[in-house]
Every structure is written in C-alpha cells, then in structure tokens.
Structure 1
Amino acid sequence: MQVHVLGSGAGGGFPQWNCNCANCKGFREGTIKASARTQSSIAISADGESWILFNASPDIKKQMDDFPAFQPARMVRDTAITAIVITDAQIDHVTGLLTLREHNKPWDIYCTSAVHDDLTTGFPVFNILGHFRGIHWHEVNTEQRSFTIPSAPGLIFTAVPLKSEAPPYSPHRHNTVPGDNIGMRIEDTRTGKNLFYAPGLGVAEDHVIDYMKNADCVLVDGTVWTDDEMSHEGISNKRAQEMGHLDQSSEGGIMSILNSMTKPRKILIHINNTNPILNEESPQRQILNNAQIEVAFDGMDIEL
C-alpha cells in the first residue's frame, strides 16, 4: 500500500491567507524554519496506478499539480483517482469536490449517511455536482464492518466512528450523531500491514485507541499544541475541544496517547497554522522529535 500526503495543514493551510500569527508572519518574513502546507488530504493506492482520494480540500488543484501520478494522460481527459472517501463534511475536506466537477463520469464517493445529509442540505455540494456528471454514493456504515473498493484490490477499509464536531451548517453541530466524523483503518491484505487515519479527533475512546495500537502507521489529528492555543494569538476564544480536536501537550492529549504505544509509526497531520510545531526549530518540535513522533508534510510518501 502506498500512501501519499497531499496536504498536511488544517483549515486555511499554512500560512493562512489572512493570518499574522507568529507562525504565519515568521514564515512570510523568513524568520522561522517552516514549510508551507495545503489543507489536509491523502491518497492511497494498492498498485501505484489507481488512487483513492481521502477528502477533497480547497487546495486540490495545487495538490494534483504537485503529484504527477494523478495524471496518467491515457486519454484527452483523464485522472488516476478512481474513488473518493470523505471522513467528514467540513469545508476544508469537501470544497475541492467542486473543482473535480468536470470528471468524465459520476464520481464514486464513499461517506456515511450523516455526511451525505449535510452535503445535500446545509452545504449541498452533491446537489451541485448533479448538474455536472453527478456522483455514485456508496454508504459507509458506522458499525465497523469492513468494506472494499473495486478499484483498490487487496485493500480492506473499516470506518471507525469518532467523537468530534459536525460542521457549522449541520443540524447536529453540537449534538453529533454516528457518522459525522470517522477515522479509517486501511489494511493491505498482501503485506498484512494497516494504516489508521484520523485527521479530526476530539475524544480518544477505547475503540479508537485499540485501532491506533494495532496499526503499523497512525496518521492522526495534530491540529493544536495546547487546548487554548487560538486565544494566545488573539484569534478566537474557542478551545480546541470545542472545535472537535484533542491538543497534543496536555495530559490525555495526542502526544501522551501516542507515547503509550510501541507498534505504530506515529505521524501528526492536519496541523493548524498557530501550532508551534510548524517551526522546525521550536522547543515543541524538539519534544516531538525526542518522542519519535513525526509531523506530516505535503508530498510525504509512506509505504506499508
């Protein structure tokens, strides 16, 4: 199984277009060592030719341009993307679907019924796509029953319900239902190895920790370093948990959870522009380095 990180940033990417936090300002002025990041998305392939896209960020055009494998150029209009999996209905994970509207056939899209409802009502992206080639919706269950995708032979997918937040336009914004947010376990039956992917994680429930412990690689929510990080920069009084994200540094946070595990390769993704770990020379980044916790970057390749 090949995994390609298309985007490693949180909503808005890094630097964010209207942000002058210490990180964004430092990046623009060249006073910190950091790399630009587009909004989070990954692609997975069983054979290196056909790719499953996980989430379609607003930055999808740049991400596709930066990844030549997506354009095999076998015909006048072509793509190596054969299906799309959506883990939640947040803007930074679905707006890119509009860019992909001119596909030569309906997109095979895999998502839960809760996400499908939000994308046909509050943010009716699927309805809009219906005026172009449309979609074929494949419902993803929330009972942790595995499924396959025909264009990814040898890979087995298991959706893992997560506690996080539904988008602002969802009727269950603060009263989430199963399927608003999922992680995904992807197993390669040929190598026996598996990836656990969860770019948004608000609560590490026991079943989620079990999936993480038994993974060969974990790509997990690395949005913020501290729960009150946004207020430090004068951006928002909202805490990370209110937005559906566990912080990294507190007791019970992502770092302490990962430190308790020995098997998986540990990688953080969905990094917010305010997070000090973006500065590769920061004390916080050194703490992660010492703990052997990696920070995903755009263009990162993982093979399992």
Structure 2
Amino acid sequence: MKILVLGSAAGGGFPQWNCNCHNCAGVRAGDPRFRARTQSSIAISADGVHWALINASPDILAQLKQHPELQPARMLRDSGISAVILVDAQIDHTTGLFMLRERASQLPVWCTEPVHQDLTTGNPVFGVLQHFCGVDWHPLRADPPTPFSLPELPDLRFTPVALASQPPPFSPRRGRAHREDNIGLLVEDLRSSRKLFYAPGLGAIEPHLDEFLAQADCIMVDGTFWTDDEMIRLGLSRKTAREIGHLPQSGGDGMIARLSPYASARRILIHINNTNPILDSASHERRMLQNADIEVAFDGMKIEL
C-alpha cells in the first residue's frame, strides 16, 4: 500500500491567510524551523496508478501539481484519482470537489448518509456538481463498520469506523449529532495484510476504537491542537479543542498518552492547526513528540505498508 500525504494542515492551511501568530509569522519570515503546509488530504494506492483520494481539500489543485504520480496521462484527459472518500462534510475536506468538476464522467464519491445529506442541503456541493461532471454516490456504513472495496483498487479493503463528533456549522442537524457525521478508516492491503488507521478529526478515543488501533501498522490521526485551551489562550476562540471536536496532544488523557498502548505501530499526527507549537521543529513540544516516537506529517510525505 502506498500512502501519499497531499496536505497535512488543518483548515486554513499553514500559514493561514489572515493569521500572524508566532508560527505563521515564522513561515513568512523564511525561518527554517517552519515548513508551509496545505490543508489535510491523503491519497492511497495499491499499484501506484489508481488512487483513492481521502478528502478533497481547497488546495487540491496545488497538491495535484506537486504529485505527477496522480496523473498517469493514459489519454488526453486523465487522472489517477479513481474515487473520493470523505470522512466528514467539513469545508476543508470537501471544497476541493468543485475543482474536480471537469471530469469526463461522474465523480465516484463514497461517504455516509449524514455527510451526503449535509452536502446536498446545508452546503449543496453535490447539487452544484450535477451541473458539471455529476456525482456517483456510494453510501458507506460506519455504524456498524461495514468494509467495502473500490472497483479499481481491489487489493485494498476499507473499513469505516464511526467517531464521536458534530456535523458542520452549516448542517441543518447542527447540535443533533449522528454517529456517522465523522468517520475513521481502517485500510488493509489484502496482499500483505498491512493496515493503516486514518482519522484526521478525532475528538475522543472511544473504547470501540481499540480493536482498530491495535491491529494497525500505521496510525495517522488528529494533530490539530497541543492543548485543550490553545485557541482560548490566544484569543482566537471561546471553545476548547474538545468542544471543537479535536483531542489535544498534551495532558494525561491527551493524544500522546492515548496512543502509548499502540507503540508498535508507526504513529503520525496530521491535520495540524497553524497555532500548534509542534509546527516549530525546534520547540519543546516537538521534542516531546520525538521522545514519544510520534511523527508530524508534512506535505509530500510518502509511506509504504
């Protein structure tokens, strides 16, 4: 299995267009401790030709330009993207669908029923795309987890897993969460039996997740915030990380502590907010991650399982 990190930042990217925090200022100043990042998305393949795009970020065109392996050039109009899998309906994971509208046939999109509802009502992305390439929607079930495969990637099996979350702010169901508003994915290479667990939006590690985390060879999960009050302390929000839907890294019940039972797996943080001090490669917080043997994803990172 080939895993390509197209983007590793949270919504807004890094640097964020209107932010002058310590981290964003460091990128603009050319400080080598900081590395610019686009908004979170990965691509997965078994053969290096056919790829599943996991989330379509607003930066998708720039990401595709950086990765020629996603353009096999077999005909005049072509793409290595065989299908798109959405883990939620958030703007930073779905806006890029608009950029794929020139596709010659309907765009195959796999997502849960609640996500489909939000993308046809509160933010009618799918309705807009019907005026262009159209959408070939495939419903997936995460509660209970129901495995599926993609026609052009038969060697990979995807198992969606429901995560505790809230629907997006534009959702007609805001405040009335559904178990399938946000999912994680266990991806297995059927040839090697190697597995990836991917969850860029992880607000809590619930008991039912243990069986999926325990069998993964690589765990790539939410790295949005370092502390629960990060945005409050900076005066950027009145909500904690957990209230926004993200498990912070620090603290006795934070991501670092919760990932410690799975030390045999390669553990990587993705979807990193521009305010998070781990974006400073020389920071104390980054050293703490290194001491815990936890990596920080970056754009262009390649993993083979």
TM-score (norm 1): 0.98
In 2, distance between residues paired with 1:277 and 1:10?
13
Kept after mapping to 1: 8 A contact 2:166/2:178: no
For residues 82-93 of structure 1, the aligned pairs below 5 Å read 82-93=82-93
Could you say which residue in structure 2 is the equivalent of 1:265? Answer: 266
Q: Is 1:159–2:163 an aligned residue pair?
A: no
Amino acid at match of 1:64: L
In 2, distance between residues paired with 1:2 and 1:202?
27
Could you say which residue in structure 2 is the equivalent of 1:65? Answer: 65
Could you say which residue in structure 2 is the equivalent of 1:246? Answer: 247
In 1, distance between residues paired with 2:129 and 2:17?
27
Amino acid at match of 2:301: M
Kept after mapping to 2: 8 A contact 1:165/1:202: no
Kept after mapping to 2: 8 A contact 1:39/1:92: yes
In 2, distance between residues paired with 1:156 and 1:70?
20
For residues 114-263 of structure 1, the aligned pairs below 5 Å read 114-142=114-142, 143-263=144-264
Kept after mapping to 1: 8 A contact 2:186/2:195: yes
Per-residue CA distance 1:126-172 (angstroms, 9 max, x = gap): 00000011011000012111111111111111000001221101122
In 2, distance between residues paired with 1:195 and 1:187?
7
Q: 1:95 to 1:47 in 2, by over 3 A?
A: same
Could you say which residue in structure 1 is the equivalent of 2:108? Answer: 108
Could you say which residue in structure 2 is the equivalent of 1:20? Answer: 20
Per-residue CA distance 1:170-218 (angstroms, 9 max, x = gap): 1222221021000000000101110000000111101113211210000
Could you say which residue in structure 1 is the equivalent of 2:4? Answer: 4
Give the secondary structure class of the aligned counterpart of 2:5.
strand
Kept after mapping to 1: 8 A contact 2:165/2:179: no
Kept after mapping to 2: 8 A contact 1:114/1:180: yes
Q: What is the total number of aligned residue pairs between the two structures?
A: 304
How far did 1:31 drift? Answer: 4.2
In 1, distance between residues paired with 2:293 and 2:178?
34
In 1, distance between residues paired with 2:286 and 2:173?
36
Which 10-residue stretch deviates more, 30-39 or 75-84?
30-39
In 1, distance between residues paired with 2:44 and 2:175?
31
Structure 1 runs (4+) greater than 2 angstroms displaced: 171-175
Amino acid at match of 1:14: F
Kept after mapping to 1: 8 A contact 2:145/2:160: yes
How far did 1:253 drift? Answer: 1.1
Amino acid at match of 2:117: D
TM-score (norm 2): 0.98
Kept after mapping to 2: 8 A contact 1:83/1:108: yes
Amino acid at match of 1:162: L
- Matched-pair identity in %: 56
In 2, distance between residues paired with 1:175 and 1:3?
34
Kept after mapping to 2: 8 A contact 1:72/1:80: yes
Could you say which residue in structure 1 is the equivalent of 2:78? Answer: 78
In 2, distance between residues paired with 1:32 and 1:229?
24
Kept after mapping to 2: 8 A contact 1:221/1:271: yes
Kept after mapping to 2: 8 A contact 1:23/1:32: no
In 2, distance between residues paired with 1:78 and 1:235?
42
In 1, distance between residues paired with 2:205 and 2:222?
11
Kept after mapping to 2: 8 A contact 1:200/1:244: yes
Kept after mapping to 2: 8 A contact 1:223/1:271: yes
Q: Is 1:274–2:275 an aligned residue pair?
A: yes
How far did 1:32 drift? Answer: 5.9
